[in-house]
Structure 1
């Protein structure tokens, strides 16, 4: 199926679904609770969330009832219930803890950079999670626990009645002719009597999740890990940092293979860093990775052990034009994703989102403008570091709709061929009235080279902001960085501070 040249898509009508993790308006916002990454599993039955506190929270789909009552009223309510997925809290676990590198005198944050669902088998799920340095594989198992919710009186016998008589005051056993069960019921206090119309039953099937660490993939990255990606062979995955990409076997945690190395012999000659990496969804030998120069390279792992030379390089024609101080920064790609057909991918930089055809390297199929209205304000965005914000992008399962975030907690949704080039804007409302708690000053942390490098290259430049304030255009303190689209239906999850807001169409 061709995604971009298919029948014109119809703009979707979006509605609020639910909010997960909402707190009281007056409750202060803890820095550790801020969401840093979200991901649906392949079937869309589970949703994983990582935060700055190193925790992974799992939500499960709740609109599919395993044991549905045959009561007419329950069936009618089910018929009128919404058909879009709804999720509820399942479990959470501490994935990473803060560490300290004594050799470089820097702290390694526990913040979760990425989570990826590996596979799902019956009631067993596997999740990869990573911070700046260490990747971990977690096994999350669903344990079904039966709970007794009602208990009817047991069958009575002579021995049982004799035993009960010693515990129930005033209970005297009679002869068999009087009926032991009848006498036991008559003499038993009222608070011992169960409802007469209830039989013994087992109910309340709980599904508690339990997470167990399976593997730890550590000591392989000297720079910050920015992405992990599963391979379609279900045996290997890659982890990418600012300068290198490593290939791992899932079963081998103490050894990996460096397949891409962009580190120059002299770090002063550094002009480009890796920003994201993604395996092809169908071909296990193809890997795409993006850079701070706005390039997307497609490498074939069959060509050589070290993929120094890319098979294809996707670069927009505008990148060949004149370079300026700000275009070097805004052209940096923050996220790339393959569409399900394997013939298209989307990329996101600071200014816009692009749809690429794998058969056309010179220019994208479509360009979705996000921050063009901020172009006159780039000096001010540079001074307050907002120009280094990294926005993610996502797409619908049919590949006809694309979404990404912006400032003021705006969700931008585009449908090529719908006749609306500006797309749809949704203002995602969360816990905006809460005050952030100031965190105690900590030791120096590792910063990404993608943020440090532009300042190092242009250290001689000092930019002054214009007299007009950018606050009139958008709220820079409210930014929608993480978004994820449900794989089988039109449901978008957006991370707003410590809350997860879901919209459906």
Structure 2
């Protein structure tokens, strides 16, 4: 066994990380694809920023509640959507001076201690409230999902959807051009059309914005002594404004509410999923889509499950996965058939005999799934747990993390006030070593999922987050990278005692694609956290 402590300060640089990878491979360690399997230590999470924080006693407008969060692939831009149909973009600004200091920091073998800093960039109205007269149904403007697309020519592209319509947006900087370098300086006219300058100093440029009578434009209007030299006015760009333009609208393809959209790695297609169908779209064609999954039975009384979430594989354009209300995940291969009536793999946890109750089907419904960066693992979130699945092993999850086990005695109360139907999202770190999800009382939880890790942190979304490490010995140990049988089940019976507030829930969060930074939404506030 090699002592890696010597290499620790250098692992952030590619050259030293490559050396460490080669050493590990020679000693039979690592995962075989160039990544080093190292057990991470618990991270020290700190508050970074907050946007739209409420003051004490301030009433939150429902249209301001955040309903979607998404980082782009670089992590330099962040998009949020709200119930009012607005999309707000944030841009990272702390990297502007990083290039200047990078060479110095590398020479000193240290890194910048500044935390990620995002600033407001722009916002636009993505969706408006509509009314379906055929079905007598109101369509909310609420943004359900946002997905970033590939950039081109410094323009940003993204998809946003409400319950029925997906829109493709282009956001780019537009330069404002102005005419300057006039021979005579133009004066601003007053209300009655004349400036407050003497008559002899007035200019008479008809196209320059003046209301002077051109018939009275004589040489007396020129400055005394005449003009030494004449020069042509010039068109210059003084300012840049961000302009959001809807390039395409993908509508009239879903009879039920859209719950997911996902971009394909080919950069040409994407999917949109509702309760019973998944449609495949081409970015360039908005008039038609191809139905690849149809779960609608001939008789709706025979309906037993619905689609809850769908996502494309991050690198294989022919593969996608979708989850259902029965707690199962189906992996599809578009090469097998055009209409994916049959799945290539089914992932579901086998029910323990005698454990079934009235709430079993409700709490086992999966509300969100995410592929890990490499595409081998799928993270799913149901009401009680987070589960990690290996797409090469379909007999059960490789890791299970208890999130709401302390609420199990209160399922009756949660059912009566509909809190049991809350749909919490989940996310993974870029290196796949940690997972995170939200909970009640504006809390979110971070779990370490590497082999041998017992990291588990609970944080509250506030400027001064109360942090608590919970380390519970696992009853069955199995984690990604370990081929032994069993299920890793970790968790605590309670979070912060018995106190929890069902009215304050953290449903939406996103992990930075390459750094330990999390953005989460608590009502109308966007909180940013980072770990050194």
Distance (Å, rounded) in 2 between the aligned partners of 1:340 and 1:410: 25
Tell me by how many angstroms 1:7 deviates.
2.0
What CA deviation, in whole Å up to 9, does each residue of 1:327-374 have, x standing for no partner? 100000000011111111100000000111111111111111100011
Larger RCO, structures 1/2 (Cα 8 Å, 6+ apart): 1
Tell me by how many angstroms 1:100 deviates.
1.1
Please give the residue correspondences for 1:18-97 in structure 2 after superposition, counting only pairs within 5 Å: 18-65=49-96, 82-97=113-128
Q: Does the aligned pair in 2 maintain the 1:237–1:247 contact within 8 Å?
A: yes
Q: Flag structure 1 segments of 5+ consecutive residues without an equivalent.
A: 71-78, 148-153, 155-162, 175-179, 181-203, 433-469
2:43 to 4, 8, 12: 12
Q: How many residues in Structure 1 have an aligned counterpart in Structure 2?
A: 417
Q: Does the aligned pair in 2 maintain the 1:353–1:367 contact within 8 Å?
A: yes
Instruction: Find the counterpart in structure 1 of residue 167 from structure 2.
Output: 136
Tell me by how many angstroms 1:420 deviates.
6.0
Please give the residue correspondences for 1:31-430 in structure 2 after superposition, counting only pairs within 5 Å: 31-65=62-96, 82-143=113-174, 208-318=241-351, 322-417=355-450, 421=454, 423-429=456-462
Tell me by how many angstroms 1:144 deviates.
5.4
Q: Does the aligned pair in 2 maintain the 1:22–1:431 contact within 8 Å?
A: no
Instruction: Find the counterpart in structure 2 of residue 482 from structure 1.
Output: 508
Deviates more, 1:18-27 or 1:391-400: 18-27
How high is the TM-score relative to the length of structure 1? 0.76
Please tell me whether residue 496 in structure 1 is matched to residue 522 in structure 2.
yes
Q: Flag structure 2 segments of 5+ consecutive residues without an equivalent.
A: 1-29, 102-109, 179-184, 186-196, 203-222, 229-236, 466-495
Q: Does the aligned pair in 1 maintain the 2:42–2:455 contact within 8 Å?
A: no
C-alpha RMSD of matched pairs (Å): 3.3
In structure 2, do the counterparts of structure 1 residues 83 and 306 end up closer, same or farther at CA, with 3 Å as the change threshold?
same
Q: Does the aligned pair in 2 maintain the 1:410–1:425 contact within 8 Å?
A: yes
Distance (Å, rounded) in 2 between the aligned partners of 1:205 and 1:346: 48
In structure 2, do the counterparts of structure 1 residues 68 and 244 end up closer, same or farther at CA, with 3 Å as the change threshold?
closer
How high is the TM-score relative to the length of structure 2? 0.72
Distance (Å, rounded) in 1 between the aligned partners of 2:372 and 2:152: 24
In structure 2, do the counterparts of structure 1 residues 134 and 291 end up closer, same or farther at CA, with 3 Å as the change threshold?
same
Tell me by how many angstroms 1:493 deviates.
0.1
Secondary structure of 1:110's aligned partner: coil
Tell me by how many angstroms 1:23 deviates.
4.3
What CA deviation, in whole Å up to 9, does each residue of 1:464-502 have, x standing for no partner? xxxxxx995311011010010011111100001111000
In structure 2, do the counterparts of structure 1 residues 412 and 222 end up closer, same or farther at CA, with 3 Å as the change threshold?
same
Distance (Å, rounded) in 2 between the aligned partners of 1:141 and 1:23: 31
Q: Does the aligned pair in 1 maintain the 2:41–2:455 contact within 8 Å?
A: no
Q: Does the aligned pair in 1 maintain the 2:448–2:455 contact within 8 Å?
A: no
In structure 2, do the counterparts of structure 1 residues 338 and 499 end up closer, same or farther at CA, with 3 Å as the change threshold?
same
In structure 2, do the counterparts of structure 1 residues 422 and 415 end up closer, same or farther at CA, with 3 Å as the change threshold?
closer
In structure 2, do the counterparts of structure 1 residues 261 and 248 end up closer, same or farther at CA, with 3 Å as the change threshold?
same
Please give the residue correspondences for 1:438-457 in structure 2 after superposition, counting only pairs within 5 Å: none
Tell me by how many angstroms 1:250 deviates.
0.5
Distance (Å, rounded) in 1 between the aligned partners of 2:44 and 2:65: 29
Tell me by how many angstroms 1:21 deviates.
2.3
Tell me by how many angstroms 1:69 deviates.
10
What CA deviation, in whole Å up to 9, does each residue of 1:132-171 have, x standing for no partner? 0000000010235699xxxxxx9xxxxxxxx999769xxx
Tell me by how many angstroms 1:421 deviates.
4.1
Secondary structure of 2:338's aligned partner: coil
In structure 2, do the counterparts of structure 1 residues 231 and 82 end up closer, same or farther at CA, with 3 Å as the change threshold?
same
Q: Does the aligned pair in 2 maintain the 1:353–1:368 contact within 8 Å?
A: yes
Distance (Å, rounded) in 2 between the aligned partners of 1:367 and 1:139: 40
